Chain A
């Protein structure tokens, strides 16, 4: 009987417990793994995952509420909304300078964006009172760099070229009696619209008193000064008092871009994958695997929620699936030696032992080749949650180039297939792979985004990713790190 006195209680307990051993699990693999900063980071993520998730939800909620409450001031793309031109009059054998004058007038207006656009002043471009074309330019936000202005100038130049080709003679005059009807050239998106073209050809055709005719033309010039309008789209808020002078300009319904902060995107990737094998400890197996495994077409998909941090930066997260596929083909010859033993009884005459029957064994060896082969499709499916930052450099209103970097928390890895060991024995990927612990990954993407309409964008580009934690588990001794790259095509929809 063991008696424990009060005064030696501690000693007794110490004797019992101090040198006590418990069968410890083998965590050495983890110890080595954990020595890396990434592993420590991963462990912190795991330890605080609920806090992080709660914080992410809270931040998302707050951002959403803030976004809902904030004023959604829709931005308006500067475009040429509508153009109205009115061919007022046209007289044969008259210098057709109107379009050149229009051009000059537009250039002047561009050069002096604060000019008021008094129709009377612009009407002065008509020469000899024979052809008057009023260009009433609402240039409140007009600048030389405006896309609308460029489009307008291009259109005007094209128009001029066409006009010269079709109707203008060598002497610089229009063809006799040929009415110059302007073609309607577009509507929105920086094109002209000929809504109120009026060709007073009747006046030309009917001979009248010359003085009266000139008077009429002068009157027409005055009255119809406002009829011909070449309006370049204005941006959302008029900044010039000249708008008042445009008298009769309509409010154009301009397409507006959505100014929401949130968007969702769905991307698909096709490409190729590969892996790095840590040769520590089993170089022979690595050699065999490198010789037998080749990359196959890999693919993936992701669903992302994007948050616009600024005009150029987006933060995103979501769920990503990537299936790295590979082919494992091998053909291996093994030399097998068969040993054949035969025995027979022989009569032996021995000088000492005399005649006796003994058993004699004959051994023969036969070497043969045994060929083994296999053809397997291996699959490593990675499921991870990316968190990334995307920078988009907009080339114009519709096209942008984006770059992004992302890191991710890999939640599950599933594998299927077969690999070989150094003895060319088949090992099922189910055993030794399919890590279920959390892992890390990093990725980079670059490509082009196209704005299809107000909300929808198409993204395409190249992407690469690497998984920083081994795909294998502790049962397989060679650490394997998967990576992949490919072509991405996706859609982004602004909420």
Chain B
């Protein structure tokens, strides 16, 4: 198994075999990222393809300081967001002040798997989905999300709070 460093060097040389190996190594994980930001599998495939093109194009610019996977993931997310932006960018209007605080309670998730939680997230409005995925899964701050999505930081917060509350409601229903 080639290390990331070898793969990166191979990809910089535009060695197709190395590019193929890099793809094989990360495609599944990256595809899951794409799926979270896409409505359909076809759209996710397109994002994956587009993002890998960018990765192969820009791989020489990767400074081997941070995680390579993280760098790839960021490209995936950015590509997915651009795709969403072109497709149907829509945020639910709202302000943080009007968002009720989630009820502090315990939630039972033993029967909740990845598919279920993803299905629940997919039921959220698209704006909520994006902010929730970026904040809760990818770990972006609200400030970064604001810059990524070109929205106010407060809007990001309110979107996230609403998304979180909706998810809680759905979880409660499952629990009951």
Contacts and interface: CB of A to CB of B under 8 A. Distances in A.
A20 B52 CA distance: 19
B82 interface: no
A28 B23 contact: yes
B27 interface: yes
Contact of A3 (B30, B49, B108): B108
A6 B117 contact: no
B163 to A, nearest CB: 11
Interface stretch (A29-37, A292-300, A346-354): A29-37
Interface in B11-63: 16, 19-20, 23, 27-32, 35-36, 45, 48-50, 52-53, 56-57
Contacts of A345: none
Interface in A1-60: 1-6, 9-10, 12-14, 16-28, 30-32, 34-35
Nearest to A25: B45
B75 to A, nearest CB: 13
Interface stretch (B91-99, B135-143, B144-152): B135-143
B28 A22 contact: yes
Given A27-B45, A28-B19, A34-B49, A14 B137 contact: yes
Contacts of B49: 27, 30-31, 34
B176 interface: no
B32 A20 contact: yes
Interface in A102-154: none
B28 A1 contact: no
A6 B107 CA distance: 8
B105 interface: yes
Contacts of A19: 29
A31 B23 contact: yes
Given A1-B108, A1-B110, A3-B107, A13 B137 contact: yes
Given A13-B117, A17-B137, A4 B23 contact: no
Given A16-B114, A31-B53, A3 B28 contact: no
A21 B20 contact: no
A20 B110 contact: no
A4 B102 CA distance: 14
A225 B56 CA distance: 90
A10 B136 contact: yes
B88 interface: no
Given A17-B137, A31-B52, A31-B53, A24 B106 contact: no
B119 interface: no
B136 A9 contact: yes
A9 B117 CA distance: 12
Contacts of A10: 135-136
Given A13-B117, A17-B114, A24 B53 contact: no
Which among B32, B35, B105 has the greatest number of chain A C-beta atoms within 10 A? B32
Given A3-B106, A6-B102, A9-B136, A28 B20 contact: yes
B105 A23 contact: no
Nearest to B103: A6
Contacts of A17: 32, 36, 114, 117-118, 137
Nearest to B139: A14
A160 B64 CA distance: 96
Contacts of B114: 16-17, 20
Given A14-B137, A17-B137, A24 B56 contact: no
A437 to B, nearest CB: 12
Contacts of B27: 24, 26
A73 to B, nearest CB: 47
A7 to B, nearest CB: 9
Given A3-B106, A17-B114, A27 B52 contact: yes
Contacts of B102: 6
B136 A14 contact: yes
Contacts of A30: 49
Interface string B153-164: 000000000001
B104 interface: yes
Contacts of B30: 24
Contacts of A2: 108-110, 112
A34 B32 contact: no
Contacts of B48: 24-25, 27
Nearest to B102: A6
Contacts of A31: 19, 23, 49, 52-53, 56
B109 A3 contact: yes
Nearest to B107: A4
Contacts of B53: 31, 34-35
Nearest to A39: B53
A48 B52 CA distance: 22
Contacts of A21: 28-29, 31-32
Contacts of B105: 6
Contacts of A280: 16
A17 to B, nearest CB: 5
Interface of A: 1-6, 9-10, 12-14, 16-28, 30-32, 34-35, 280
Given A1-B108, A17-B36, A24-B30, 19 more contacts: A3-B107, A3-B108, A4-B109, A14-B139, A19-B29, A20-B32, A20-B118, A22-B35, A23-B31, A24-B28, A24-B48, A25-B48, A26-B27, A27-B45, A27-B52, A28-B19, A28-B23, A31-B52, A34-B50
Interface of B: 16, 19-20, 23, 27-32, 35-36, 45, 48-50, 52-53, 56-57, 102, 104-110, 112-114, 117-118, 135-139, 164, 168
6 closest A-B pairs by CB: A24-B31, A24-B27, A21-B28, A22-B32, A10-B136, A27-B49
15 contacts: A1-B110, A2-B108, A3-B108, A3-B109, A4-B109, A6-B104, A13-B136, A13-B137, A17-B114, A18-B138, A22-B35, A23-B31, A27-B49, A28-B23, A35-B57
